[in-house]
Amino acid sequence: METSENLESLKDERMKGNHKKATDKYIEILLETIDKEPQELGYEFGRWTAQRLATYLEKLTGIQLSGSQVRRILEKKKYVYLWAKYSLESKQNPEKRKAFKQKIAEYLRIEKKYPELLQLWFWDESGFSLRVIRRKTWCKKGSSKNVRGDRRKGRVNVMGGLRYSDKKRFVEFIDKGNADNFYKVLKIFYEEIVFEWVEAGNQAKDFAKKGAKIVIILDNASFHKKQEYINKIEAEMPNIHLEFLPEYSPDYNLIELVWHSTKEYVANRLFKSLEELEYLLHQLLNEGQLIIKWARKIKNKGNVIITI
């Protein structure tokens, strides 16, 4: 790698005559950077995007390029950004999906007009492993890059919801996904919703009759539908209404974007222990440190997430 003294000349040299903004030396450093893990250079993220490369190279060379300019340079050098593709469309029922989308739209209309009457939450479970998760990376066309992939045992499981109106998150750590944990986490969640109601100046005893209806969108996991626990939820948490997704339709569950963004953040990172991983997940999911671009269109579990 060049010294800072030598790199300072890059900006000056490109101003002499009619030179391209990206000098040959800039491109050389760019290609060297791609072969390095971001952590080697002091970053916490797990992969290089074109914009991250542009930001890093600007600090290093003084040459300011946009992410799209960096991407074009890499494409000319025969680099591609790989991502696996798969689809669930063949297993979906279009009519059920259409009807469900209309139902969600109606819930959203009511929530927007009468927020005191209805809250819409998206609910799911996810897991994060100590095994290094590899995401997309730059490599030459026709070849793949060998990267470290530690097969370590250990997993942190989470369960929780995302409120549509303000994107508030509620996430609990669990040992595994089952009906008992679903009921227990939902009960903690319900207590927090009641606490919000009381904080707003209301009486807890009035919540069942005067509080908002809590509509929870969730998938068809068998433990979500176990009748014994459904009965307990109806009896003990009367404001909650469970709304099950059409089969093979995770793209209608907005919390998938939370899991996706979290896994992107921790991708390629090597954690020393489950405690270290859990601490970071708590910071990201419960302490507001995870920044999510809600308007993103991403491929996840076979379909583009519907950001509504």
Res. 48: pLDDT tops 70: yes
Domain layout of the chain by residue ranges:
4-77, 89-304
Is residue 202 within 8 A of residue 194, CB to CB? The reply is no
Which tens digits make up the pLDDT trace of 93-102? 999 999 999 9
pLDDT band at 40 (very low <50, low <70, confident <90, very high): confident
Spatial neighbors of 290 by CB under 8 A, at least 6 apart, are 258, 261, 262, 265, 284
Q: Which fold has domain 89-304?
A: Nucleotidyltransferase; domain 5 (3.30.420)
Structure tokens at 130: 């100590």
Give me the mean pLDDT over the 177-206 stretch: 97
Segment 38-54 mean pLDDT: 87
More confident residue, 305 or 118: 118
pLDDT at residue 16 tops 60: no
Q: What is the mean pLDDT of residues 70-96?
A: 83
Whole-number mean pLDDT of the chain? Answer: 85
Residue with tokens 């790698």: 1
User: Which conformational region is residue 62 in: left (phi greater than 0), alpha (psi within -120 to 50 degrees), or beta?
Assistant: left
Q: Closest Cα to residue 280, out of 289, 268, 291? A: 289
Is 240's pLDDT higher than 80?
A: yes
Report how far Cα 80 is from the mean position of its chain's Cα atoms: 23
Can you give 194-208 as a three-state secondary structure string?
Answer: HHHHHHCCCCHHHHH
For 235, the 3-state DSSP assignment is helix
pLDDT at 19: 43
pLDDT of 109 above 70? yes
Identify the pLDDT of residue 9.
52
List CB contacts of 183: < 8 A, sequence separation 6 or more. 229, 232, 233
Residue 10 scores a pLDDT above 60: no
With CA atoms as reference, report the closest residue to 171 among 304, 26, 300, 288.
288
Residue 115: per-residue pLDDT: 93
Is pLDDT of 184 > 50? yes
257, 297 contact by CB (below 8 A): no
User: Phi and psi at residue 268, in whole multiples of 5°?
Assistant: 75, -5
Torsion region of 266: left, alpha or beta (phi above 0 gives left; psi -120 to 50 gives alpha): alpha
- How far apart CA 216 and CA 237 sit, in angstroms, is 12
**The predicted structure's pLDDT at residue 216:** 98
pTM of structure: 0.68
- pLDDT tens-place string over residues 255-301: 999 999 998 888 878 888 999 999 999 999 999 889 887 776 555 44
Q: What confidence score (pLDDT) does residue 152 get?
A: 57
pLDDT digits (tens, 9 = 90+) for 120-153: 999 999 999 887 666 566 777 767 666 555 555 7
